[in-house]
Amino acid sequence: MLLTDCSPLIFALQRLESRYLSTPSEFNFLYSMVRVEVEANTAKASSSCTNGLLWLTRAMDFLVELFRNLLEHPDWTMSEACTDSYKKTLKKWHGWLASSSFTLAMKLAPDRKKFMEVIGGSGDLNDDIEKFCTTFNPLLEENHKFLVRSSIV
């Protein structure tokens, strides 16, 4: 579905992992990477770990919102659920090209039923989604607060 949108996130994860592996004792906590970059005045560079954390947080905001939409709007198609989530989370950070790419990608969105079957596994999918949203959202909120305190956003 949004496979093309995953590449930058994979690079961000690799960048964070590489930075961690360079000095595990110094970068035991993700926020320590950001603090070092803020102090070095490199936090806002496009290749910074800080930028990676920022975009990973935004992407996870999108996923949490998408899963909420899937729970709260069982009548919506995947395209409707994704588009609403995108408008609430990522759209304000994207320019014309990225927004247009998203619109195009929605034409390739999978069937909702098939998507739910694929991610379903053997448990209670709705319960799992609810637990994920409830548990993960506070972590995202903490990231947002930290990024604001660090003058990143």
Q: What is the DSSP track for 115-134?
A: HHHHHHTTS-HHHHHHHHHH
The total of structural domains in the chain comes to 1
**CATH code for the domain of 18:** 1.10.3520.10
Angle at 123 between CA 78 and CA 68, to 5 degrees: 35
0.85 exceeded by the pTM? yes
Domain that holds residue 20: 3-149
Q: What is the mean pLDDT of the segment spanning 49-67?
A: 94
Return the pLDDT at 38: 95
Checking if the pLDDT of 1 tops 80, the result is no
Q: What is the DSSP track for 45-91?
A: STTSHHHHHHHHHHHHHHHHHHHHHHHH-TTS-HHHHHHHHHHHHTG
